[in-house]
Structure 1
């Protein structure tokens, strides 16, 4: 469990005392939960809204598919790589302070994306937005974990958190399609600016500064890890573009930097991930499941968006509407999962989510030449959302009590690393295979295999916890 004895529980005892005397404590806590949930919803929206406008952006800015992939991975790579430093930073400097700083950076960077004159400026602003997201997510998740220390109550709160987040995920493609069709692709970036500002203000008004806790920042490990992830992603993207010599050079650099990262972490006095967090058990299983989850979901969304526009000649609006059923399932599944987890534990929603999603991916793989089959299968892929709040509950329960902020950071860093690599690998498969219906089928065959692996990691993650997490249903 993430919140236990030995820690300052003043935030948990009265978590949302806030600055608004007119609000009751329960209302302040509810408003704060919504605001903190909006943090993840905004992050998810920004991750998915770009997928549906990639083809439009390419027509406007020129360039190849590799540059378009960087519009996605330029966001997810710093998001993944910096969260492991942002979690301890939130513990050290104060979770509310770090969260609000993240909102401010995110709002400014997203506005910058709307004004970007070319790919370099756009990708640079996406990197800044990913950095803001990395500051927001672990601090907001740790605040929720402290506010709801009981497993069943926390599972329900995470259901709200996951539901709001998945609503953001769901809104991305259809809202992006509508806005791009009406006012061009730049308009999709303006949505996040007022939401970031409002959520940041709500967090300031409804929460007290949390106690600062001693925490060491592994600057060297963070820099090496981020470089290794960026180089590896670049190598995969270059393979998809057919630039093998460049890809090999990047792969060699990845191996070298990756080896340096491993050596640095083995000898570090304060490694990015404390050694007592990485042993066999449910926490490691939840982290592995998070990687698989985002690899499959982000990669599938990228390939479906490109496939519908490139293979089946859908407009940007038509693509957004075709993806809408899948995103609605994602929103419903995440919300439902929190309550199912509170009642029955995490194993049932995790297995149902990955199993149903694997069937959906197989439908797309078999029927890739028929856009109706793509829509139906992609909708079923959305069932993977049943696993998200459940695996988060497993991670928060299993993490050592001394690492509250870091636990959520490790899980979500693994998820976003999976997302970055999913976009790179599956985008490379789709592009290298010719961006045809068989290419789409091949990409979704790979998604099917990854989701089946998710069933296996879910079984491992819940081997000793599926009866414990949902035991308190009062």
Structure 2
């Protein structure tokens, strides 16, 4: 880790160990809650379609309505945290996230539900980079930080994978609004703990970039919408949206190049290691989010699983991702990040192929086994986070974490949109299998990006 960043974060390392551990748990639960709400809706999609009407495209927007603003605003949220203080940013994010959860629970139609999910995504974007920046300050030593990131990532991936199981239980016994009501006590307790215990940080004088932020939101939203509309065979609208997304993306790149203080500073963009780490993060969420959406829809669709049974089917994945992410932190501390990253993406690629075979053979058991193997992708997550943070110059911890998680969440949004569209167009078996083959190919590409991102390792 650069010495200037270590010097920048050393003061918080003097916090009493029990309080530092309690703060780490709260920060880890922050990421866990963010990830939980990314997937808990998956198991509710068939029930929501029954109660609210709508087709697969509405269901995709219930997922991507959260993922798109979350991904698009992470960079700006990291800059806001660097400027106004990460503790303040994190607590404000919790307040918005809780209020939006109430709106989602009370939704009487898709418009209100998706609007609430968008607000949840904004709140999540404020919470996540702030939690990572605070951990960076609490654990300046690289080995301690790797272990701390192992817990942070383990709780996050547990939240990601346990979402369908918890959602199935809540829907079966309390109805679908309960998957949003459950956020309130968690947000109150965890947000309150961070407000009291997390160390205050010195704000920087960094400017914000509203033009770049707006163009980034438009580009991602248009591309995501284009893939979703393509899955509905609305080709003229698909072409318009994708073309608009490409144009907005080009304008975003031009704006960033000319901005006095761009969303991603040249010190980060200029690092090849950091760019490859971003590509790896994109592939990680593309495969995980896309595969989980397809499996959730398939199990409760052609295979006739109930919401609870669909959630239980994901339980093996929940166990695997928690163990894998926690182990990754220890492996990265002992051996460096390359080995856990290569192992994680290799297992995930094989798992996606197993799911594709299960789809063609109409074998739910094979699909569930494959999904558990995909969960071993969690071996890569804390390790690749460590790689990205190690490139951050002084004062940019929030932006480094925000940049990586932006790439991850963009990958998740695109994965949900693209693989969901392939599933919808191709049909129950062929479409399902093809979608998972695309996920497997993405994991294979991530092996290359991993080698590039960790190229200085022996």
1:14-163 to structure 2, matched below 5 A, reads 14=14, 16=15, 25-163=16-154
Query: Contact 1:66–1:238 at 8 Å: present in 2 too?
Result: yes
TM-score scaled by length of structure 1: 0.94
The equivalent residue for 1:372 is: 365
Match of 1:19 in 2: none
Give the helix-richer structure, 1 or 2. 2
User: How far did residue 262 of structure 1 move?
Assistant: 1.9
Q: Which of 403, 408, 415 matches 2:401? A: 408
Q: Confirm or deny: 8 A CA contact 2:5 2:392 kept in the other structure.
A: no
**Whole-angstrom distance in 2 between the partners of 1:360 and 1:8:** 42
CA distance in structure 2 between the partners assigned to 1:390 and 1:131 by the alignment: 26
More displaced 10-residue stretch of structure 1: 294-303 or 162-171 = 162-171
Q: Output aligned runs, 1:314-463, within 5 Å.
A: 314-368=305-359, 369-434=362-427, 436-463=428-455
Question: Do the aligned residues in 2 keep the contact of 1:341 with 1:390 (CA within 8 Å)?
Answer: yes
Deviation at 1:124, TM superposition (A): 0.5
Residue 207 of structure 1: how far off its partner (Å): 2.1
What's the CA shift for 1:9? 3.7
**What SS does structure 1 have at the residue aligned with 2:4?**
coil
Q: TM-score, normalised by structure 2?
A: 0.97
Q: Classify 1:367/1:7 alpha carbon distance in 2 versus 1 (closer, same or farther; 3 Å).
A: same
Structure 2 CA distance, aligned partners of 1:171 and 1:223? 33
Structure 2 CA distance, aligned partners of 1:196 and 1:56?
25
Cα deviation for residue 5 of structure 1 reads 5.3
How far off its partner does 1:256 sit? Answer: 2.5
Distance 1:3 1:404 in 2: 13
> In 2 relative to 1, CA 8–390 (structure 1 residues): closer, same or farther, beyond 3 Å?
closer
Q: How many angstroms apart in 2 are the aligned matches of 1:171 and 1:302?
A: 13
C-alpha separation between the residues in 2 aligned to 1:276 and 1:171? 37
2:198 maps to 207
Offset at residue 170 of structure 1 (A) = 2.6
- Answer with 252-261 or 148-157: which moved more: 252-261
Cα 1:29–1:3 shift into 2, 3 Å: farther
Distance in structure 2 (CA, Å) of the matches to 1:230 and 1:120: 16
What SS does the aligned partner of 1:463 have?
Answer: coil
Task: Kindly indicate whether the alpha-carbon contact (under 8 Å) linking 1:3 and 1:149 is maintained by their aligned counterparts in 2.
Answer: no
Question: Which residues of 2 match residues 253-332 of structure 1 at below 5 A?
Answer: 253-332=244-323
Q: Distance in 2 between matches of 1:211 and 1:290?
A: 29
Aligned-pair distance for 1:281? 2.5
Question: In 2, are the aligned partners of 1:40 and 1:164 still within 8 Å (CA)?
Answer: yes
Aligned to 1:248: 239
Partner of 2:158: 167
1:255 CA displacement? 2.5
Structure 1, gaps ≥5 residues long: 17-24, 468-474
Paired residues of 1:3 and 1:146 also in contact (CA < 8 A): no
Q: Deviations over 1:82-139 (max 9, x none)?
A: 1111111101111110010001111111121110111011000000000000000111
How far apart in 2 are the matches of 1:223 and 1:243? 26
Q: SS at the partner of 1:400?
A: coil
Aligned length: 456
Could you say if the C-alpha distance between residues 5 and 429 of structure 1 is closer, same or farther in structure 2, counting changes exceeding 3 Å? closer
Deviation, structure 1 residue 6: 8.7
CA contact (8 A) 2:134 2:199 kept: no
Q: CA deviation at 1:258?
A: 2.0
Give yes or no for contact 1:11–1:210 (8 Å, CA) kept in 2.
no
Instruction: State the alpha-carbon separation in 2 of the partners of residues 40 and 224 from structure 1.
Output: 26
